[in-house]
Structure 1
Amino acid sequence: MLQITRAFDILSYQLQKYPQPDCLTAKINDTWQKQSTQEVVDAVNQFSLGLLALGFNKGDKIALVSFNRPEWIIADLGVQQIGAVSVPLYPTITEDDYRYIFKEAEVKLILVSDEKLYKKVSAATAQIEGIQGIYSFDHLPQVTHWSEIARQAREADLDRLKSLKAAVTAEDLFTIIYTSGTTGNPKGVMLTHNNIVSNYKSCQPYVPVNSQHRALSFLPLCHIYERMLSVLYMAEGVSIYYAESIEKVAENLREVKPHVFATVPRLLEKVYDKIVAKGKELTGIKKNLFFWALELGLKYDVRGRNAWYDAQLALANKLIFNKWREALGGNVIAIVSGGAALQPRLARVFGAAQIRVMEGYGLTETSPVIAVNRHNPEDHMIGTVGPPVDNIEVKIAETDGEILTRSASVMKGYYKHPELTAEVISADGWFHTGDIGEMVEGKYLKITDRKKEMFKTSGGKYIAPQLIENKLKESILIEQVMVIGDGRKFASALIVPSSPDLREWCRLHNITYTTDAEMIKHPDVQAKFDQEVKKYNAHFAQWEQIKRHELMPKPWTIDSGELTAKLSLKRKVILHNNQELIEKIY
């Protein structure tokens, strides 16, 4: 049996061991269209041969700018097979970021998904030499369709392709992923085949999937999180279905009925909020039962429950939580959560509904997984990111509590920036994550904050803003929040209200207004947010508590430059954009 040592080996491995009729599936013209493992193998080989016919070679950089779809995977594997390097980019970043990355990575070919991205990418490449073409996955007027590459394939190159594939080693570069970063230019993370293969093998024992299962894919494939899981899925024979869009995930879950999917906490928060909103619309005994089950769910723990609680939980599952499972398709065994801190209440209530949320932790630079909560209860602790996975070393720096890790999954380095690489990887191979953490019970890793985001008040007290922000975001009325106070007397917060929920609250309380900006200035709304902040302040020490806050009239977005592509806050930008307001607070 073939051994998987390079990322593209997964395809031949699946063909030998678990050939699937629906290896990759997408919805086209309202119909789920399946591609078998053999069809995917053939398409990948034709794409590789087409690249060779067009003169592309080992080491050439080929960019992918597209939302998730089978073509993304086929192109990526086709690039890998000739020893070229894929440079996947978020479809949501700025034209300036595209320009910077195309130049620095010396990209020679670009594949885009649709007309909007073609226009953006085309504008970004206007002054760049060396780009040999932009091809599209969609059929667009005046743009060469990506199928033209495969059409260039020559039978005569088959032997050359075989020898090129054989020459690719586990230590060869397979991708450069540019991290959006919260400051400065993006950095190109160089990952080898062995980085991602070793990470998938470390995680494989803990993701409870097999060749009878389906996965729904909607987190960006350009990020290493979904990409590594795609390698794991394919190696295990799991069929991958691509969601039409983030907006259609709920609909696609019901159609595909997946057994597993990866998500970020914000999407789970939205699912939870929608379910609770529907619960509020109920009346009489149905409403009482719904909120009885919800309260029960919020007390759930994976371990240490008693017989009386379990008896009530069994009843709640029969009467209420079965509807939650149906909303996710009815087959979900596990949800893998990463990218940001998961609120413990979400892990509890979904766990109570027999939907295990496996919260994990990692970085692009670590391919990505460092630790994950297991599916089995004895290796799962809510409020932590679980034990480190196999063959991953983790230690907490004695000086400042920074999480350090060492493994075969740690990147080769930052592309063209050895000085930045030296800043984060020590001579003995320890990667400095920039996160602060601790080990709970000597086994479970807990993240407490970002090293660079901690700040000190003028009174000399350290504050970890993410802990406070995550607690405040438990309020259904709070969409986004940023805690401030570096060098100031006390901590404050800029709060972006959840507009739909706040409008509904105003309706129920007979509050009239004409614009959202007017709504957030209403005395009753201000009083309500004072009450919300006070409620969550009770969870923190006196010096950590939010003393003042301001409501923001509009959300922070990627387009405004205040969020990264991963939806992390660009704190310096938000501080700069709100200097006047912050001075008013203090």
Structure 2
Amino acid sequence: MPTIVPFETLPELFINLSKKYKGAGKKPFHYKPTTDADYQPIDWDQVTDDVYSLAAYLIERGIEKGDRVGILSENRYEWAVVDLAIQLVGGINVSLYTTLPPSQSAYILNDSGAKIFFVSTGFQLKKAVEIFDECEAVKEVVAFDEPKLEHLQEEKYVRMFDDVLLEGGKHLEDHKQTIKDRVKAVEPDDVATLIYTSGTTGKPKGAMLTHNNIVSNVKAATQHIYWDDNDRLLSFLPLCHSFERTAGYYAMISSGVEIYYAESVDTVSKNMPEAKPTIMISVPRLFEKMYNLIVKSVEEGSDTKKKIFNWAVETGRKYSEGKRGLVTLQKKIADKLVFDKLKERTGGHVRLFVSGGAALPPEIDTFFQCAGMNILQGYGLTETSPVMAANKPGQEKVGVVGTIIQGVTVGIKSLENGELLAEISGEDYPTDKSSEAGEILCKGPNVMKGYWNNEEATKEMIDDDGWLHTGDVGKFDEGFLKITDRIKHMIVNAGGKNIYPGPIEDLFKTSKWIDQIVVVGEAQNYMAAIIVPDFEVLEKFAKEKGLSFSNNEELIDHDEVRDIYKKELRSFSKDLASHEKIRDFRLVPNEFTVETGEITPTLKVKRRVIADKYGHLIDDIFEDD
């Protein structure tokens, strides 16, 4: 649906929403004060008061138009207040991932020149205090939560968020006209935020996203995918990433959707039944985990349970293909016996799953479609604000990332000679257009202004014709965009064959024995893999077989365990070309995590980190080759 108020900049969005909902009792945000508490609502009048108070405080502290303000926080109400206040005074939001170490946090603060630094918990405040002296531009740190360690609060430059709001409220009358003038002064081409890349290679780069970048993307997304003021969203992907920022925040409030904040990424399964969301925006990892839990449950059950499950999936497939009559009755039975239990885990009200950030394995996409819980895959980059393409409700197609959104043009460039093979815009849509694979390019109002203080990197990303080079490989398939993999992820084997590991890894992720997998084999005669087992499944197997172990290292060292993975590799590799087959592997005892550095905050694998960390295992695989 169209957005519910007119706006060309983010401060205009806030102003017009505040006017529309004044005194109406509309509750845009919900939070849990404690783990055991129910969700508490916050209405627009409270939001308006808090944002104006903080805006007055920022002005009082000398924040001018174009100044940068840092935020290091999990998704929560205060994050939204800070962001909206920054936009109201014409500032630039610089958001940091909470998982960043102090050194990287300091780098971003110094690179951006942030003047005030907002942090959430005592843990994040400790990080801010540690790096404060290194960050010359930062004059003040504002903490959302009272720290347990009193000495952190004793620093002269540390203020508490509640105190800041009170102080800002006292100065609001003095600065009301200034705020009005600042809002009018914000132009669509002004930078609204710096979103720093997660730094899988080299130092993080700050993508400059303008008001027009974000606003155009919000409007196009809300036209492409329908949501309205009857919907509610559970927010858990990092707000410092453009996917959640645009799709899970600005697009939601601009359509009247109410946002419920998950307590953390780890509590999503607990918070879904509490919040009862109608919309879930996620990355594939959530759907992979849900799928694997179901598969485990079925395989551990009786033969009768397995037969019922397989029958239900087949019935769901027929129904999703449009078959009706007897199939309609069978689908109702399948829902009651199998799929309703899955829906209950999500709170029982989800009507729209949206997946982005990485490719969704086709088998998992198909399963959710059979369950009547269709997932809309989308595609984009931080640098494209982020949405370039997405599936539409009722027009979903497995294995593709959908059609191009309005205002955006996507091109496919030959990897061999650089020729433009095809291009499609969101306005003039050919439903039968297909092309060969090549690098995906993008043009449109969603393309970033460039990288902050980095003209060289900007020129590498955006060419003289205005095409942004994504670094992704894809093609058009009857008008739909299909992603193959990242160019930089491409493996060239000893025989010169180009192999993209992503689709291979997606295939193996459907195994109940495999939690995470990374394919390796650059310049080698065959492909191999580093595998993180699903230790819950593996431990159960070991106990049933009487295998002794006291830790994961001992568990994966058993011959019986290795035999399982040899069989899995042979079984799954049957569907792969000869040069893609996984012929050897090594098991590792620890999960790839953000904290240990193997994956990004949006759960993408850092291949170089894994190649370095497990280089000895990779060398061992190919040692005698």
TM bucket (normalised to shorter chain) is: over 0.9
The reply to whether residue 382 of structure 1 matches residue 398 of structure 2 is yes
Counterpart CA distance in 2 for 1:125 and 1:301 is: 59
Residue 141 of structure 2 is matched in structure 1 by: 134
Counterpart CA distance in 2 for 1:311 and 1:532 is: 37
The reply to whether residue 45 of structure 1 matches residue 45 of structure 2 is no
Return 74-83 or 321-330, whichever deviates more.
Answer: 321-330
Counterpart CA distance in 2 for 1:363 and 1:100 is: 22
Match of 2:584 among 541, 548, 559: 548
The answer as to whether partners of 1:95 and 1:124 remain within 8 angstroms in 2 is yes
Counterpart CA distance in 2 for 1:568 and 1:238 is: 28
Give 1:369-448 correspondences, 5 Å limit.
369-376=387-394, 379-400=395-416, 401-441=438-478, 443-448=479-484
The answer as to whether partners of 1:48 and 1:150 remain within 8 angstroms in 2 is no
The answer as to whether partners of 2:288 and 2:509 remain within 8 angstroms in 1 is no
The reply to whether residue 245 of structure 1 matches residue 252 of structure 2 is no
Counterpart CA distance in 2 for 1:108 and 1:151 is: 20
Deviation of residue 432 (structure 1)?
Answer: 0.4
Gap change, CA 1:423 and 1:121, over 3 Å in 2: same
Give 1:330-369 correspondences, 5 Å limit.
330-369=348-387
TM-score (norm 2): 0.89
Give 1:462-477 correspondences, 5 Å limit.
462-477=498-513
The reply to whether residue 5 of structure 1 matches residue 20 of structure 2 is no
Residue 619 of structure 2 is matched in structure 1 by: 583
Deviation of residue 562 (structure 1)?
Answer: 2.4
In structure 1, what residue type is equivalent to 2:166?
R
Return 502-511 or 100-109, whichever deviates more.
Answer: 502-511
Match of 1:35 among 12, 33, 42: 42
The reply to whether residue 456 of structure 1 matches residue 492 of structure 2 is yes
Deviation of residue 80 (structure 1)?
Answer: 0.8
The answer as to whether partners of 2:213 and 2:446 remain within 8 angstroms in 1 is yes
The reply to whether residue 81 of structure 1 matches residue 88 of structure 2 is yes
Deviation of residue 461 (structure 1)?
Answer: 0.7
Give 1:101-112 correspondences, 5 Å limit.
101-112=108-119
SS of residue in 2 equivalent to 1:531: helix
- Unpaired runs of at least 5, structure 1: none
Residue 279 of structure 2 is matched in structure 1 by: 260
SS of residue in 1 equivalent to 2:217: helix
Residue 427 of structure 2 is matched in structure 1 by: none
Residue 166 of structure 2 is matched in structure 1 by: 151
The answer as to whether partners of 2:228 and 2:257 remain within 8 angstroms in 1 is yes
Give 1:77-226 correspondences, 5 Å limit.
77-140=84-147, 141=150, 142=153, 143-153=158-168, 154=171, 155-226=173-244
Deviation of residue 288 (structure 1)?
Answer: 3.9
Q: Kindly, what percent of the aligned residue pairs are identical?
A: 37
The answer as to whether partners of 1:216 and 1:260 remain within 8 angstroms in 2 is yes
Gap change, CA 1:283 and 1:462, over 3 Å in 2: closer
Residues 375-416 of structure 1, C-alpha deviations (whole Å, 9 max, x = no match): 12xx32111111111111011102350000111000000100
Deviation of residue 557 (structure 1)?
Answer: 2.6
Residue 488 of structure 1 is matched in structure 2 by: 524
Residue 26 of structure 2 is matched in structure 1 by: 21
Residues 5-59 of structure 1, C-alpha deviations (whole Å, 9 max, x = no match): 1123333333344555321110113132211112111211111011111111111
In structure 2, what residue type is equivalent to 1:569?
V
Return 321-330 or 501-510, whichever deviates more.
Answer: 501-510
Counterpart CA distance in 2 for 1:81 and 1:38 is: 16
The answer as to whether partners of 1:313 and 1:352 remain within 8 angstroms in 2 is no
Gap change, CA 1:456 and 1:345, over 3 Å in 2: same
SS of residue in 1 equivalent to 2:134: coil
Match of 1:561 among 588, 592, 597: 597
Residue 435 of structure 2 is matched in structure 1 by: none
The answer as to whether partners of 2:88 and 2:182 remain within 8 angstroms in 1 is yes
Return 21-30 or 43-52, whichever deviates more.
Answer: 21-30
- Unpaired runs of at least 5, structure 2: 417-437
Residues 192-241 of structure 1, C-alpha deviations (whole Å, 9 max, x = no match): 01001100111102332211221111111111111112111111111111
SS of residue in 2 equivalent to 1:452: helix
- Give the length in aligned residue pairs: 582
In structure 1, what residue type is equivalent to 2:450?
G
Deviation of residue 182 (structure 1)?
Answer: 1.5
Residues 46-84 of structure 1, C-alpha deviations (whole Å, 9 max, x = no match): 110111111111111111100010110011000111111
The answer as to whether partners of 2:295 and 2:512 remain within 8 angstroms in 1 is no
In structure 2, what residue type is equivalent to 1:165?
V
In structure 1, what residue type is equivalent to 2:159?
T
Counterpart CA distance in 2 for 1:483 and 1:132 is: 46
Residues 422-463 of structure 1, C-alpha deviations (whole Å, 9 max, x = no match): 01111121110000001111x111100101110211111111
Residue 232 of structure 1 is matched in structure 2 by: 251
Gap change, CA 1:257 and 1:498, over 3 Å in 2: same
Return 93-102 or 573-582, whichever deviates more.
Answer: 573-582
Counterpart CA distance in 1 for 2:138 and 2:196 is: 18
Deviation of residue 313 (structure 1)?
Answer: 2.6
Counterpart CA distance in 1 for 2:291 and 2:5 is: 43
Aligned alpha-carbon RMSD (Å): 1.9
The answer as to whether partners of 1:11 and 1:234 remain within 8 angstroms in 2 is no
The answer as to whether partners of 2:296 and 2:512 remain within 8 angstroms in 1 is no
TM-score (norm 1): 0.95
SS of residue in 1 equivalent to 2:403: coil
In structure 2, what residue type is equivalent to 1:39?
Q
Deviation of residue 314 (structure 1)?
Answer: 3.2
Residue 271 of structure 1 is matched in structure 2 by: 290
Residue 57 of structure 1 is matched in structure 2 by: 64
Residue 534 of structure 2 is matched in structure 1 by: 498
SS of residue in 2 equivalent to 1:110: strand
The answer as to whether partners of 1:216 and 1:241 remain within 8 angstroms in 2 is yes
Counterpart CA distance in 1 for 2:273 and 2:582 is: 41
Counterpart CA distance in 1 for 2:25 and 2:451 is: 37
Residue 430 of structure 2 is matched in structure 1 by: none
Residues 82-106 of structure 1, C-alpha deviations (whole Å, 9 max, x = no match): 1111101110112221111111111
Deviation of residue 123 (structure 1)?
Answer: 1.4
SS of residue in 2 equivalent to 1:544: coil
SS of residue in 2 equivalent to 1:351: helix
